[in-house]
Structure 1
């Protein structure tokens, strides 16, 4: 009667959802202030005041019918030109509005790219690097393709290139790069990106077709210290960039982002046309007309990352002091420490005794670790540190 696969996706609770419901129950029992929920990556830094003011200005300035009416499917031309100018200024590129396709956030951008690149004859593969955002799997499989996952390089969470090269095949359509990474918070180095580009250039030539990079960049602006995030189209021409303002401007519920299709990609017209066609069949009529205009006016507004930086350092230092092993925060708002037992699900379940809500690393393709999202109140992190210490004491004796 219905698609069993869709039914399963719609009714099976995710680990994060299960943890969230447990947290709600515990908050009612012991008080919200005594529950330390590190499970969900929902920004807790308010959107910049300029965003709120811009919304009000646009509502006053523009004719209501024009503002709330359709835009062309790729997005308002003036908006795309404005964003292209900003990208060019920041990264030394030469894009114009025709290189952008506005989307309803990064999830829409990704699914559109997966659909556009999956050929009608099937037998198409996409490759992700563990740890990876688990929605990639259902996005790719929904398009009739297969997701292959390169095991994590747990030494530094850069790419395990030997395993990666073994997985490449003539069926490989694209490689997904997520940097800064969810869940590890690690940024791929320039050396990593250059090596990746070299391998893909060689394999594209060997297989007789381009292998694309799909660069998933919702956390691009959330980096700390002197860390630099390489802009991948500068290193590899067959790159599609998927961006969202969900994290940089704290607008996850507004669903606004874009795809960049550089002129340099193999057969630009066909790729851009396929993206437009994929958007059409995925019922993407156009991205929010209001928020297209909002982000165009706020495109160069700096992200407020100071609070995330403080939180990341506070949690990292507290975990290290308690005896955990972890990469120092580089970007995004996640830590990915090693669990204190081999079974990360059992470890996260034991953590709930102390009202610590953590997500097992196996959900991200990297068992033996756990994710802690530090986009929460600083005082919550401060109160949680004794609980982490008590948890660690159960293992470290």
Structure 2
């Protein structure tokens, strides 16, 4: 009667959402101050005043039909021009408005890109740990997700394992840096090696192998680290971006796909993106928020709270006896569990009010994700509980 696949997706929520909903229910039972919810990557830094001021000014002074009406499907021309010019200033690109396709956030950008590229038998490669929804997005367009095992010592790419998984069916490689869930930033050396391998494979296979760069955390990089802009290193790159994290706008769903002129057969690729957007009923990205981000596009992101929270949680977990690679960006820690069964570990953590996400969902059993985009005081109060949890394991 209905699609079994769609029913499964609709009734079996993601682990992250399930834990988040459990946390809301538990908080109603025992009080908010007794629940330490590290499950959801929902930015806790307030939306900047300049965003609010721009939205109010536009709402008060612009024609309502402009604010609330349709734009053309790829986005308002002036908005696309503004995005292109900003990227040119920041990364030395030569984009024009024609290279930008505005989307309803990064999830739409990624899914549209998968849909635009995918043909029968195509494979999309990603690196563990990875955002779990990649599997759903890839399979929804008829593709196969291939996962490269993790390199836990630094969360960079295991290139020997990567090359073994490439074949003539490989259509694209998904890169997420800064990474959800590890917080790792792929170094320039890593990106150069990735680009060199794929250039050779393109020649060997006789067709382009794209990189889809998923970049919602680009602005959240610590200690002055540079996040390499992949189109500078590899021609066949599509960049999927969202303002959800940089401007704390996750509920407004606004982002873009950047398609450089350098991609193989630019016209065909951009046309396929437009067609894919049409098929998934993407009429246009929200008009008001297109205009708002265009006005605020070069304003800085405030990451100070994430720096503070990340250091506090990392130092606290290390002191408690956990093993963890120090995050370089985003707002997640990805420590090793204190037992091999990550699901059992996260279930035991619930006894202390600690809501953590098992690493198996991210392709890394034996680890857990803790999102620290929450109130600093909550992290501070949670640290003794992590110590109690660790002490329970030490007792055996």
When normalised by structure 2's length, the TM-score is 0.99
Q: Tell me, yes or no, if the aligned pair for 1:197 and 1:236 is still in contact at 8 Å.
A: yes
Partner of 2:360: 362
Residues 37 and 356, structure 2, Cα contact 8 Å, conserved in 1: yes
Deviation at 1:224, TM superposition (A): 0.8
Structure-1 separation of matches of 2:79 and 2:17: 36
**Alignment deviations for residues 89-120 of structure 1 (CA, whole Å, 9 cap, x no partner):** 1111111101000000000000110000012x
Structure 1 residue 61: Cα displacement: 1.9
Partner in structure 2 of residue 42 of structure 1:
42
What is the aligned partner in structure 1 of residue 207 from structure 2? Answer: 209
Is 1:323–1:396's contact at 8 Å kept on the other side of the alignment? Answer: no
Q: Quote the RMSD (CA, aligned, Å).
A: 0.8
Question: 2:153–2:325: 8 Å Cα contact kept in structure 1?
Answer: no
User: What is aligned with 2:92?
Assistant: 92
The match for 1:134 is 132
Per-residue deviation, 1:16: 1.8
1:11 matched to which residue of 2?
Answer: 11
- Partner SS state of residue 177, structure 1: strand
Instruction: After TM superposition, give the deviation of residue 328 of structure 1 in Å.
Output: 1.0
Q: Which residue is equivalent to 1:242?
A: 240
Give the drift of 1:21: 2.9
2:311 corresponds to which of 299, 310, 313: 313
Q: 1:26 to 1:66 in 2, by over 3 A?
A: closer
Distance in structure 2 (CA, Å) of the matches to 1:272 and 1:27: 47
Q: CA offsets, 1:121-148, max 9 Å, x none?
A: x101000100000100010001011001
Q: What is the CA-CA distance between 1:396 and the residue it aligns to?
A: 2.8
Number of the residue aligned with 1:383: 381
Deviations 1:295-317 (A, max 9, x none): 00010111110001100000000
In the TM superposition, residue 394 of structure 1 has moved relative to its aligned partner by: 1.4
Spell out the pairing of 1:142-153 with structure 2 (5 A cutoff).
142-153=140-151
**Deviation of the 1:17 alpha carbon:** 2.6
Q: Give the alignment of 1:1-397 within 5 angstroms.
A: 1-119=1-119, 122-396=120-394
Measure, in 1, the Cα distance between the counterparts of 2:140 and 2:23: 31
Report the Cα offset of residue 213 of structure 1: 0.1
- Please say if residues 358 and 371 of structure 1, whose CA atoms lie closer than 8 Å, have aligned partners that are also in contact: yes
What residue ranges of structure 1 are gaps of 5+ in the alignment? none
Deviation at 1:187, TM superposition (A): 0.4
CA distance in 2, matches of 1:378, 1:177: 30
SS in 2 for 1:133: coil
1:67-91 CA distances to partner (integer Å, 9 max, x unpaired)?
Answer: 2111111111111111111111111
How does the TM-score come out when normalised to structure 1? 0.98
8 Å contact kept, 1:114–1:139: yes
In 2, the alpha carbon distance for the partners of 1:49 and 1:105 equals: 21
Report if the CA contact (8 A) 1:110-1:216 is conserved: yes
1:24 deviates by 2.4
Q: Deviations over 1:252-294 (max 9, x none)?
A: 0000000000001101111111111111111111101111100
Give the superposition deviation at 1:20: 2.0
Please list every run of at least 4 consecutive aligned residues from structure 1 whose deviation after the TM superposition is greater than 3 angstroms: none
CA drift of 1:62 comes to 1.1
Unpaired runs of 5+ residues, structure 2, are none
Partner SS state of residue 27, structure 1: helix
The answer to whether the 8 Å contact 1:113/1:275 transfers is yes
Corresponding residue SS for 1:396: helix
Shift of 1:324: 0.4
